[in-house]
Amino acid sequence: MGSQRNVSRNSLRRLEKKIKNATNYQEWSDLAKQHDFQSGAEAWKHQRECDLYDYNEIASRHKILRGCLDKGQEKELLYALNEGVHGNMGGMGRPVMYNQAKFGTKTLIDEYVSTIAESLRFIADCPTEKISYTEKLDFFRRASHCYGRSALLLSGGVGLIYFHQGVLQELIDHDLVPNVISGASAGAIVSAQLGTLTDEELKKGYFNHKRYDEIDKKKFLDLVLGRLSPQEAYDAKESVLDEVIPRNITFQEAFELTGRYINISISPSEKHQSSRLMNAITSPNVYVRSAVSASFSIPGVIPAERLYAKSFTGKTRPYLENRRWVDGSVAGDLPIKRLSRLYGVNHTIVSQINPVVVPFIEDTKSRKRKGFKKAISNAGLNIF
């Protein structure tokens, strides 16, 4: 019996190592599902009863919605949906529900979410003589407001930017990129790429073809480590931006091109000033590249940057002429509260590549803090 347990533990450890080294989502998900079958987590997912969430409430709601759909009762379905569409029904959105297994959560929750999605499509496609356009518009506006939005946050991290690019390419390949994206420093570069390239351009594997290692590594390393003079540092930064940001357009023009709200964090270089979040709402006329250039100005390495905007005549002019700005990760690396206020964001996907924060990230199961050396080693972070 003991030997069987040892074999099982060893098998799970081997799978965990493979999961950690997976190179794409499909490989990761296949291994994670295999781990769930061997660990017993798959059985946990299929068992409705659990103290971690209100399975009775979710099962009851699921039954009502499913019944309305099967019978084609559009008015009853709309009424049922109006009783509540949000991401934490019966506690189903609690983080603890998503760290019991490697892949997914309770099957009941998956079924309920799928039925909600089917119900929303049913209402949208319902003939207007049964549910008027005005009723639909009112319902979907309220549902959107109640449900909230997701945002993708890309941290600073300079030489580890290729981790952002790998995350982004997987999200793009699976049509999972949120319409709200923020970035600081290195993350600002990737955010700008997302906000200035169309879906067609991105789906051609843009981030696979534009890996950061295509840039002159020696020059970039000299830039990051402060080995260049101020003018050389500025020129090197502009060279990097020339390569990775193909279009010099304003935030408003970027939104009109892609439909994505990109947000670039910048920090003030003077005292008594506050950090800012540049986007199509707060600064529609500012050039995206100008904001990225400021967000990428590392204090003590690259001189503080002035912002530039497109005037009403179409000419370029300074924006807040007397102000200079630096690295966005200094004061606004992950601006969750600001995104919540501007866009109604209540769910975030964070790509955190800054190794400095690794010791402060807790394991969601063990709640044990890792030592810095071990954490860096486990993360396998190699700048170049």
114/221 same-domain check: no
78/204 same-domain check: no
pTM of the model: 0.81
Q: Is residue 300 part of a domain?
A: yes
pLDDT value of residue 154? 93
DSSP string, 311-371: -TTS-EEEESTT--EE-THHHHSS-HHHHHHHH-EEEEEEE---GGGGGGPPPTTT-PPPP
**String of b and e for 207-235 (b: at least 16 CB within 10 Å)?**
beebebeebeeebbeebbeeebeeeebbe
Q: Is residue 23 part of a domain?
A: no
200/318 same-domain check: yes
Half-sphere exposure of 271 (CA within 13 A, CB side): 0
| Residue that terminates a domain, selected from 89, 115, 147 | 147
Strands in 117-179 per DSSP E: 149-154
Positions marked active-site: 185, 327
Q: How many CB atoms neighbour CB 267 within 10 A?
A: 24
Q: Is residue 226 part of a domain?
A: yes
257/128 same-domain check: no
123/227 same-domain check: no
Written as tens digits, the pLDDT of the chain (384 aa) is 444 455 488 999 999 999 999 988 899 999 999 999 999 999 999 999 999 999 999 999 999 999 999 999 999 999 999 987 777 889 998 999 999 999 999 999 999 999 999 999 999 999 999 999 999 999 999 988 888 899 999 998 867 888 888 888 889 988 999 999 999 988 999 999 898 888 888 888 777 665 544 555 566 666 666 677 777 777 877 877 887 776 789 999 999 999 999 999 998 887 777 888 999 999 999 999 999 988 888 777 777 889 999 999 999 999 988 888 888 777 778 889 999 999 999 889 999 888 777 776 665 554 444 444 454 444 443 333
Provide CB contacts within 8 A for 334, sequence distance 6+: 153, 155, 182, 184, 348, 350, 352
| Residue that terminates a domain, selected from 120, 147, 174 | 147
Q: Is residue 263 part of a domain?
A: yes
Q: Is residue 377 part of a domain?
A: no
Domain that holds residue 175: 150-353
288/229 same-domain check: yes
Q: Is residue 11 part of a domain?
A: no
261/292 same-domain check: yes
Q: What is the rounded distance in angstroms from the CA atom of residue 85 to the CA atom of residue 146?
A: 7
Q: Is residue 384 part of a domain?
A: no
Q: Is residue 19 part of a domain?
A: no
pLDDT value of residue 302? 78
139/214 same-domain check: no
- 268: tokens are 């003030």
Alpha-carbon distances, residue 191 vs 55, 178, 184, 257, 348 (angstroms): 39, 12, 8, 14, 15
157/106 same-domain check: no
59/140 same-domain check: yes
**String of b and e for 159-185 (b: at least 16 CB within 10 Å)?**
bbbbbbbbbbbbbbbeeebbebbbbbb
Q: What is the rounded distance in angstroms from the CA atom of residue 304 to the CA atom of residue 266?
A: 10
192/134 same-domain check: no
Q: Which amino acid is at 206?
A: Y
| Residue that terminates a domain, selected from 147, 170, 192 | 147
Q: How many domains does the chain have?
A: 2
214/281 same-domain check: yes
pLDDT value of residue 372? 46
Which domain CATH number covers 173? 3.40.1090.10
